[in-house]
């Protein structure tokens, strides 16, 4: 029997947990983590998803999501947009009534992402080693239910992010999130910078790491 590759994705894991970031933080969520990423950020905490996983049909993926009986689905990676067939999968999840968020590194266009999907675009600061991969045309495509996330390793990263926020008027266009690199920048230091500059951002700490550490599938 011939397999319909147009309806398959390489999936590293599907799991049920609490959303650790974004404006859905704390909500029970099903995470669909795709294998692979074209970037190699210095502080990446999901390197384990660069390779491996298994091919799954859309129906298999959605059936697995249904088992967890929650309305929230987060499509993540790796870099999920590196697999182009993720776009019709998200369309089907939206059509099935799920509230869907997409976590993307921002180096691949989000132009064709279903407008109902909550896009979380992680712009890469200089400390990531991948700042040159940012696709700034993505910013004009974001709406009020989307988010831009900055992960900050030091004051150079912070000042860069502050300039990007001001230059592109991001706070007037979408939600802006800012978090410290775990075990690198003390959270209080970043919080003090944000308050000092009255920056219009939402400070966040990765909730899941405080609960379960860096264990995959949490």
What are the residue boundaries of the structural domains of the chain, listed by start?
Answer: 5-212
Q: Which DSSP symbol is given to 125? A: P
Q: So what's the pLDDT on residue 207?
A: 74
Per residue in 137-173, pLDDT (tens digit) is 999 999 999 999 999 999 999 999 999 999 999 999 9
pLDDT at 8 over 90: yes
Which of the four pLDDT bands, split at 50, 70 and 90, describes residue 204?
very high
Residue 93 clears pLDDT 70, i.e. is over it: yes
17 pLDDT higher than 60: yes
Closest by Cα among 124, 146, 150 to 135 = 124
Ranking 22-26, 76-80, 104-108 by mean pLDDT, the lowest is: 22-26
pLDDT > 70? residue 34: yes
Distance from CA of residue 48 to its chain's centroid?
Answer: 16
46 confidence band (pLDDT: 50, 70, 90): confident
Confidence of residue 2 (pLDDT cuts 50, 70, 90): very low
**Arithmetic mean of pLDDT, 86-112:** 97
Mean pLDDT over the full length of the chain: 93
| Residues of the binding site for [4Fe-4S] cluster | 37, 41, 44
Could you tell me if 54 and 13 are in contact, meaning their C-beta atoms sit under 8 angstroms apart?
no
> Other CB atoms closer than 10 Å to residue 206's CB: what's the count?
17
The percent of residues in the chain predicted with pLDDT above 90, rounded, is 83
Mean pLDDT confidence for 13-30: 93
Q: How many Å apart are CA 103 and CA 110, to the nearest integer?
A: 11
Please report the sign of the dihedral spanned by the C-alpha atoms of residue 50, residue 52, residue 53, residue 56.
Answer: positive
Class of CATH domain 5-212? alpha beta
Give the global pTM.
0.92
List binding-site positions for S-adenosyl-L-methionine: 43-45, 78
Residue ranges for the binding site?
A: 18-20, 33, 37, 41, 43-46, 76, 78
Tokens matching residue 208: 């899941």
Binding residues for Mg(2+): 46
Quickly count: other Cβ atoms within 10 Å of residue 148's Cβ: 26
- Give pairs for 193-198: CB < 8 Å, separation 24+: 193/155, 193/158, 197/162
User: How far lies 143's CA from each of 22, 76, 92, 169, in Å?
Assistant: 15, 20, 21, 12
Q: Extract the annotated binding site for substrate.
A: 18-20, 33, 76
Helix axes 86-95, 58-66, angle to 10 degrees: 40
Residue 210 has pLDDT above 90, yes or no: no
């Amino acid at each position: 029997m011939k397999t319909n590759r147009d309806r398959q994705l390489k999936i590293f894991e599907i799991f049920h947990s609490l959303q650790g970031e974004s404006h859905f933080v704390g909500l029970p969520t099903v995470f669909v983590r795709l294998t692979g990423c074209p970037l190699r950020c210095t502080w990446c905490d999901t390197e384990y998803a660069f390779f491996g996983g298994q091919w799954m049909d859309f129906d298999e993926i959605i059936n697995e999501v249904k088992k967890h009986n929650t309305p929230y689905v987060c499509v993540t990676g790796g870099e999920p947009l590196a697999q182009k067939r993720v776009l019709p999968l998200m369309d089907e999840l939206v059509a099935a009534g799920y509230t869907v968020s997409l976590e993307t590194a921002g180096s691949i266009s989000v132009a064709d992402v279903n407008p109902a999907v909550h896009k979380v675009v992680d712009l890469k600061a200089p400390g990531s080693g991948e700042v040159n991969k940012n696709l700034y045309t993505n910013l004009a495509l974001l709406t009020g239910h989307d988010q831009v996330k900055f992960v900050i390793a030091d004051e150079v990263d912070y000042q860069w992010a502050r300039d990007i926020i001001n230059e592109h008027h991001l706070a007037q266009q979408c939600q802006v999130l800012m978090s410290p690199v775990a075990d690198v920048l003390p959270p209080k230091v970043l919080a003090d910078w944000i308050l000092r500059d009255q920056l219009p951002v939402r400070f966040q700490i990765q909730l899941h790491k405080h609960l379960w550490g860096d264990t995959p599938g949490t």
